[in-house]
Amino acid sequence: MKILFTSILFFLFPILLFSQVDYQARAEKNLAYLIRDSILLNQIEMDNEAVRIFASAEDKKNGKAEFIVKWENVQSFLDLLIQGKKIDSLSSIENNKIVHKDFSYVEEEKPNSYKGLRIAIDPGHSANNFKTAILERRYIKMKANDVGLKKDIRFYESDLTWQTAKILAKRLRAKGAEVLITRKKGKNAFGTNFKKWKKSEFHKTLERDLKNKIITQKIYNWYLEEATEKDIYKYMNKKDLIERAKIINDFRADISLIIHYNANGNNVDKDGYLQPISNNYCMAFTGGGFMKNELSSQDARLDFLRLLLSNDLERSIALSGFIMKQHSSIAKVPVTPNKNNLRYLQRNSVYADMDGVYCRNLALSRMVKGAICFGESLMQDNINEAVLLNQKNYKEAGVRTSSRIKLMVDAYEAGIHEYLNQ
């Protein structure tokens, strides 16, 4: 989103849906969840009049705010973000004196019924074969002797997440919800797989990024001359995540479920076999937990402001808390305790004051609007889970899978039900 001016004044909507005092109180509460590295406070300023955000700490020293949003004008600001309009002139702000009819997407009362409810389900990853799953580093391969079986274990996360999404979508539609799944089996959000994307889209995407100054000529040349298959996959994955967020936001989801299954992934031998682990736990992420240099782009700063001022964060924490509670109750997977030794939780996340829920600045937890739950349901490389997930002993919605996946679907379904009826 390109903005050619540095200070924005937003117009007051005649009927306030939420008082300026409430918006200020919300922002002060949300700030604690949004900031993981206190150095970012050098780009933010709040007082009784407005919230201001700065492109850099130097700009704050010089009093050069990129955005100034007065508390009484928050609704107009959020409205522009919801519509996804490019703000490229003062006239585009002046034309927003009346809040758009879809502003209720942010400030309406929390939904309590499946009727008319829009739910987006994003099955994590996109591998369509084991080779690509290895590129993703999202696979389980264990020797039979290590897990007490006669045959080796082989499966990958992309399949598990798609199976979960497919079954869950059918159940939610039966309840009256409108459900979107962001990708098909073995495909990414662009509707293709890595091999086909690399052949037909890789060079086009590079050219586009070079033209739009997203990458430099040096990086462009590096991708063409030196990048490995793994490097190219990471590049595609970054684009894929942006497309998933766009699909969800265009759908205007009330609830978004980003479905993943966790793994330790350590102790891999030269043939790619993993050693099973004894630990097992679930967790969920919401937006927040911004770290040093993560407010360096304008898009990131706009996402930060939306999370600061809207009710997205509050609802995401509540939704995720209910879903984690049901994972523990139904699937018997313990939630990750607040006191743990997981580096990515201790260093990259903020505890959301809800069992198993953390604020973390992941691409989708930042970009997706509305209430989200980025779920990590269990540890795939746990010795017991690996054996169970490898089974094909359950069928629903035309999907042959493990009865363990059925319990994960049960947990998501029960968590949503509890959220709607809280």
Q: How many CB atoms lie within 10 A of CB 137?
A: 13
List, for residues 40-69, the tens digit of each pLDDT value: 999 999 999 999 999 999 999 999 998 888
Phi-psi sector, 382: left (phi>0), alpha (psi -120 to 50), beta: beta
List, for residues 67-108, the tens digit of each pLDDT value: 888 888 888 888 877 776 665 433 333 344 544 455 445 566
Phi-psi sector, 134: left (phi>0), alpha (psi -120 to 50), beta: alpha
Statement: residue 277 has pLDDT above 90: yes
Q: Which residue has the higher pLDDT, 125 or 9?
A: 125
Q: At what angle are helices 157-174 and 403-420 packed, to 10 degrees?
A: 50
Average pLDDT, stretch 175-194?
Answer: 97
What pLDDT is recorded for position 78?
Answer: 84
List, for residues 224-248, the tens digit of each pLDDT value: 999 999 999 999 999 999 999 999 9
What pLDDT is recorded for position 9?
Answer: 42
Q: Which amino acid is at 99?
A: V
Query: How many Cα atoms sit within 13 Å of 91 on the Cβ side?
Result: 0
Integer Cα distance of 272 and 265 in angstroms: 10
Share of the chain above pLDDT 90, in %: 80
List, for residues 352-407, the tens digit of each pLDDT value: 999 999 999 999 999 999 999 999 999 999 999 999 999 999 999 999 999 999 99
What pLDDT is recorded for position 399?
Answer: 97
Query: How many Cα atoms sit within 13 Å of 265 on the Cβ side?
Result: 11
What pLDDT is recorded for position 2?
Answer: 39
| Per-chain mean pLDDT for the chain | 90
Query: Do the Cβ atoms of 231 and 392 come closer than 8 Å?
Result: no
The reported pTM is 0.91
What pLDDT is recorded for position 86?
Answer: 62
Read off the pLDDT band of 341 (50, 70, 90).
confident
Query: Do the Cβ atoms of 67 and 305 come closer than 8 Å?
Result: yes
Residues contacting residue 302 through CB under 8 Å, at least 6 positions apart: 1, 67, 81
What pLDDT is recorded for position 102?
Answer: 52
Domains contained in the chain, CATH given: 20-102 (no CATH), 118-187+232-420 (3.40.630.40)
List, for residues 198-214, the tens digit of each pLDDT value: 999 999 999 999 999 99
- Please give the structure tokens belonging to residue 122: 């994003």
Q: At what angle are helices 298-309 and 74-83 packed, to 10 degrees?
A: 130
Average pLDDT, stretch 322-345?
Answer: 94
Statement: residue 253 has pLDDT above 50: yes
Q: How many CB atoms lie within 10 A of CB 30?
A: 23
Statement: residue 15 has pLDDT above 60: no
Q: How many CB atoms lie within 10 A of CB 216?
A: 11
List, for residues 119-146, the tens digit of each pLDDT value: 999 999 999 999 999 999 999 999 999 9
- Please give the structure tokens belonging to residue 274: 């993993």
Average pLDDT, stretch 111-117?
Answer: 90
Average pLDDT, stretch 265-277?
Answer: 90
Average pLDDT, stretch 14-23?
Answer: 63
